[in-house]
Structure formats: structure tokens, C-alpha cells
Chains A and B, each alone.
Chain A
Amino acid sequence: MTIRKSTAMIAAITMLAVGACAKKAPDTLPPAPEGTGTDPGAGTGTGVIPGSQEDFLANVGLEGDRVFFDYDQYNVDAQDQATLQSQAQWLQRNPAVRVTLEGHADERGTRDYNIALGERRANAAKNYLASLGINPGRINVISYGKERPAELGSTEAAYAKNRRAVTVVIGQ
């Protein structure tokens, strides 16, 4: 379940940093970056260090650290956009934080191809965050291909959870 943030205050922009995704670009334009973060629960009074991975997870919600993809696809769909918008809001409130976007594939691809596919997915998410105004220099990318499944089963449900790009805080 993804916690969706309100997008009402987000204005449209035209800048779209998806140049590398020429073949299967995201099918909708991203919303604009949001200038001033007003998230009420940002790391206050909970003992959580602001800007930490724990703080990030607490703010983006359950599975809000990751976006999911269809089989052999890497387009950022509407649900992914909402998730990444939530991440972008947190990143804008914590401008010194750097993150790694980890791209993953399910086990139905061959090893080398899946590394390339994970690169595509992580970059699609990175480019979307950049389109929201996050400095791409803050975002590191690594693909694990099929090496690190989140779900271990060989079922469609497990595969759907494994085709993912996960944002991980690596420090400030």
C-alpha cells in the first residue's frame, strides 16, 4: 500500500528529465517540484533523526521507498509518480541527504540483461525525481538485477514485488 500525498499544491512544469528513456518513456508528465515542505510529521518528537533512513521510511510510508514495474518494463506509472512525489517532498525538506536508487528485476530474466534492466528502472525513477526538482547529483544508481529479490517465491505475486526501484538514504 502506497501512501499518496496530496498533489493539489503541485504546479505543472514542462521540464522532463527522461532523455535516456527514449524507447519506453513515462506515459505522463511529472508534476512540478514543490518549493516549501510543510510535512507536519517530519522527524519531530519521535527520536528519529531527521534526514535518516528511518525518518525517510516514516515519512514515505509502507513501501513508499519503492516503485514497482511491469514485466520487462521501466515506465513510471501514476502510482509510481505519487510515490516518487512523496519521496521528492522529503528530499526537498532534507536537501543535504544523498540517496541510492537500487534497481531490481525478477528472476525470469537472464543475469546480465537483468542488470541492464535494473539500471533502466533505477534511472527512470531517478529521472522522475530530477524532474521534480531533485538534484540528480544527490542520487546514486545501482542495479542488482535478479541478485537480491525482496520476495523469495517463484510466483507472479513475488515477481511483482521484485521488479522494483528502491530509494535508500546513504547519508548527508
Chain B
Amino acid sequence: MFLRPLSLSLALLLTTAPVFAQTAPTPPAVTPTTTPRETIEGTLSQERTVIGIPPLATASVQTVAGLRTDSLGRQIAEVIAADLERSGLYEPIGPNGVRAITRAEVQAPRFAEWQARGAENVVHGFVDAGSNGSLIVGCYLYDTALGSELVRKGFEIQPADWRRAAHKCADAIYSRLSGEAPFFDSRVAYIAESGPKGNRIKRLAIMDSDGGNHRFITNGQALAISPRFSPDYKKIVYVSYLNNRVRVFIYDVAAGSQKLVTESSNATFAPRWSPDGTQILYSMAVNGNTDIYRISANGGTPVRLTTTAGIDVGGSFSPDGRKIVFESDRSGGQQIYVMNIDGSNQQRISFGGGRAATPEWSPRGDLIAFTRMGGGEFRIGVMTPSGGGVRLLTNSWQDEAPTWSPNGRVIQFFRTTRGREGKSSLWQVDLTGVNLRRLPTPQDGSDPSWGPVLP
């Protein structure tokens, strides 16, 4: 197991000894079985694994920072159950409608009882008061048929971070059972929308991957679009129409201040981070001609990457940071191209079936998600980095701007409805095209940008 130093900014400590001192020795590590990629498709959401998730127990009911440990036990179980259910792979039983377990039961589940309810697995856990106002959260995953422990996680957290503990538990369970990398403990930047269609108020906003911990960043006085979280979540690059200009800003989340990516009298837009957070791509229009530039996140001299007379815009780095996928209308309409990060070797990869736009490279590197435009409709699609294996995942009037989950399994995008009352909302769909869901947001939403799993 891990021991991580306490990070004040995160206030989430993965810890071992204090939490599990009373438990049996750590079971031997079980290597997750990696599901071969080619067999994933079409197998999801058909047979969902039933998992019992009763409320987390507590050694004694205490109130920490205004939160009761027994209430938190139920809330954490609810978040775990919602995460697992949303993945489309699992059918939780509980925490509502199931018997509360005792603290002693956490490490001695009544397997027969859960088996009788049809649960192949059961999640048990606890929330205890820690020292100095912290909480200790533990969670376990068991196989009810084998009567064996599959996952054991413990966290010492500040009470305000209880949702993160729940997401970390859900991630550990998801990873162990699916063989996929975790993704629940991650965040999303997006644009919250309100007001009439002809004069939308668009605000930068951030939230957890499940919509929790929602926060508005900008007040809506200046139009805000196309945000991207930095890989460390400390900054957001986005476009603001502040002072009636179109410019890329870097917003510092902790400081609450922002600065220009580059000083220019020209419009700058469509910003993207490099995977290591040191570089930013942006597009700039000069006398009506748009090209893609790369600049250090700390400023300096931008490097122009495209030089064609058409619109070259957007861009997304490959996860190894060596290539950039972008869109260009140099062939007459929007299509997708790949180039090296110095701008060399520009190759078109999308062909046929209408236009292709807004490419986003999967964090796994194996696929590129994009918006397919044709027949007056936008749909979300994926293809390989060489342009093969095109699959369309959605079928609606306007689905635009895909963004990948940190594990490359799920794609979020925004869906717009047509007509005078047309509105946008955030959705997600599994890589296989199943498990389509709308994300809860306080207002309408667009331009989602999904960040990496938190450490």
C-alpha cells in the first residue's frame, strides 16, 4: 500500500498504518486482469455486476466540522454507488433500502446474506473521527461467493474532502473489477449557460466528474468559452471576451487572478494544454487567416505551427507530447490533421462522410474523438490516430466537442437542441456508444473539459 505525504492543498492523505493497524495483514496484491481492448466493445451494460453497498459504519457517532460520522457514512456510500452505477458496469444495491452494517462487520461481512440478495460483490467501509479534526475513511471490496477481500483502501481526510474519499473508493473498486484505470476522482471545467439564445450569459465553472463540488469561476459579465484545466488542476486556460476582445487567458484557481497567454492585437482562441502542462496551443486570426501557435505556459515567444491560407484551429496533444491533432479547412471543409509538435509533417487523417472537427486525443493514445458534421447534424465519433476505425457514438441534432475521461473509457460532450429555445447541456457516453447520460449542472452547460485523475 502507499504512504503519501500530506498535501495541504489537497488535504487528502493516503495512509496505511494508523488506519488498518487493527486489521489482518495486507492481502497479497492481486494483479487486475486487463481486458483486451478488442473485446470491450458491445460487452458493456449488458450484464451489470450486482454490488451491495450498505452505508459505511462508524465506531462511534461523532461530529467533525459539523458533519456526523454516521451521516457521512451514508453519503459516502451514496457517492460510491452513484459512481459505480454511472459507469454502466455495475448495479448497486444500497445504501438506501439495505440494512446498516456494524463497525465490526466491516471486516467480517455476512457473505451469505449478500449472496441471497444477488450481490456478487459487496462494499463495506467505515468513517471514524481522526485526530486534529480529520476523518478516517476505510473501504473494502469483497467477493461474496469466494468470501475473499479484493480491495482495501484507507484515507485520512479533511472533512470537506469526503467526496474525494468516496471517489477514491469507487475508483479502487472500479479498477479492481474492470481492469481499467480509475477515473471518478477527477474534475471538469465547463461553461455554464443561462439567458436567451441571442444573448447567452456564459460563465466559466468547475465541478467534480459527477457534478459535485460545483463552483462558478467568472461572473458572466464577459462571455467565456472553451476552458481547459491544466493537468495539475491549478490553472484553467480559456477564452474571455473581456473588453470586447477575443483573448486566451490563464486563470489561477487558487489566486483567483488571470493573465494573458500572449500579448497580441489579434484574436487568440481555442487554447489547449500540453500533457505536462508546460506548453499551450492556441489559434490566432491575423487579417482573417487563422493559424495554430504554441507557447510556453510561462509566456515567451510563440511558435507558429501552421502556415496555410485556410483556417487551422484547435489542436490536442498526443499523450506522449510528440504529436498534435488539429483541424483545418485547407482541403475546402473542416477535416482532421496530425503534425509533429514543431509543425512538421502535417497529414490529413479524416476522409469521407462529411466534415470532421474538434479532435481530442485519448489519454490512452489509441483513439481520437471528434465531431462529425454532416446532414445538418453533429455527432461524436472516434477514430484511430491514422484515421481508421471510425465509429460514431451518438445520434442527435448537435453533439459537439468531445473530451475524454482520464482513463479513455468515457467521453463527455455537449448537446444542443434546435430552435428558438435551443439549449446546451453536458452529456457523457461510453467509448462503445452505450450508457449515454446527461450530467447534472445547475444551469445549462457547454464546452466540457475533463482533467486527469487526482493524485
- Knowing A110-B358, A111-B225, the reply to whether A100 touches B288 (Cβ < 8 A) is no
**Is B269's CB within 8 Å of the partner chain A?**
yes
Give the chain A neighbours of B290 by CB distance below 8 A: 116, 119-120
Name the A residues within 8 Å of B198 (CB-CB).
148-150, 152
Cα(A124)–Cα(B288), bound, Å: 7
Q: How far is the CA of A12 from the CA of B400 in the complex (A)?
A: 46
Is the Cβ of A113 less than 8 Å from the Cβ of B334? yes
Q: Is the CB of B200 within 8 A of A111?
A: no
Interface size on A, as a range, is: 35 or more
Knowing A108-B376, A152-B197, A152-B198 touch, does A119 contact B400 (C-beta < 8 A)? no
**Of A21, A72, A110, the contact of B288 (CB 8 Å cutoff):** A21
Query: Are B286 and A20 in contact, CB atoms less than 8 angstroms apart?
Result: yes
Q: Which of A107-139 contact B (CB under 8 A)?
A: 107-113, 115-117, 119-124, 127
In the complex, which residue of chain A has the Cβ closest to the Cβ of B376? A108
- Verify if A167 is at the interface (C-beta below 8 Å from B): no
Asked whether, in the complex, the Cβ of B422 is within 8 Å of the Cβ of A154, the reply is yes
A112-B267 Cα distance, complex, nearest whole Å? 12
Please state if A149 and B401 are interface contacts (CB–CB under 8 Å): no
Q: How far is the CB of A83 from chain B (nearest CB, A)?
A: 18
Stretch from B11-19, B51-59, B85-93, B413-421 that touches the partner: B413-421
A74-B287 Cα distance, complex, nearest whole Å: 13
Q: What are the residues of chain B within 8 A of A89 when measuring CB–CB?
A: none
B447: chain A residues at CB < 8 Å are 111
Q: B187-204 interface mask toward A, CB cutoff 8 Å, 1 = contact, 0 = none? A: 000000000111110100
Stretch at the interface among B128-136, B308-316, B429-437: B308-316
Q: Are A19 and B378 in contact (CB under 8 A)?
A: no
Contact assessment for A119 and B371 in the assembled complex, using a CB-CB cutoff below 8 Å? no
| Distance in angstroms between the alpha carbons of A119 and B288 in the assembled complex | 5
* CB <8 Å contact, B269 and A112: yes
Specify which of A19, A119, A152 is in contact with B285 (CB 8 Å cutoff). A119
Contact A119 B267 (CB under 8 A): yes
> Is the CB of B245 closer than 8 A to any CB of chain A?
yes
Known A23-B310, A150-B198; contact A115-B400, beta-carbon cutoff 8 A: no
A113 partner, pick from B244, B246, B286, B357, beta carbons under 8 A: B357
Contact: A123 with B287, CB < 8 Å? yes
Q: Is A147 an interface residue (CB 8 A)?
A: yes
B333 at the interface (CB under 8 A from A): yes
* Interface status of B72 (Cβ within 8 A of chain A): no
Per the bound structure, the CA–CA distance linking A150 and B197 in Å amounts to: 9
Nearest CB of chain A from residue B319's CB, rounded to whole Å: 21
**In the assembly, what is the distance between CA of A148 and CA of B398, in Å?**
17
Contact B327 A113 (CB under 8 A): yes
Known A-B contacts: A113-B313, A154-B418. Give 18 more (CB < 8 A): A74-B288, A110-B334, A110-B358, A111-B400, A111-B401, A111-B447, A112-B313, A113-B327, A115-B267, A115-B270, A115-B313, A116-B313, A147-B202, A147-B223, A147-B225, A152-B419, A152-B422, A153-B419
Residues on B lying within 8 angstroms of A by beta carbon are 196-200, 202, 223, 225-226, 244-246, 267, 269-270, 283, 285-290, 309-311, 313-314, 327, 329, 333-334, 357-358, 371, 373, 376, 378, 398, 400-401, 416, 418-420, 422, 446-447
What are 20 A-to-B residue pairs whose CB atoms are below 8 Å?
A: A20-B288, A23-B310, A108-B376, A110-B400, A110-B401, A112-B269, A112-B314, A112-B358, A113-B311, A113-B313, A113-B329, A115-B285, A116-B311, A120-B288, A120-B289, A127-B287, A142-B244, A147-B202, A152-B196, A153-B419
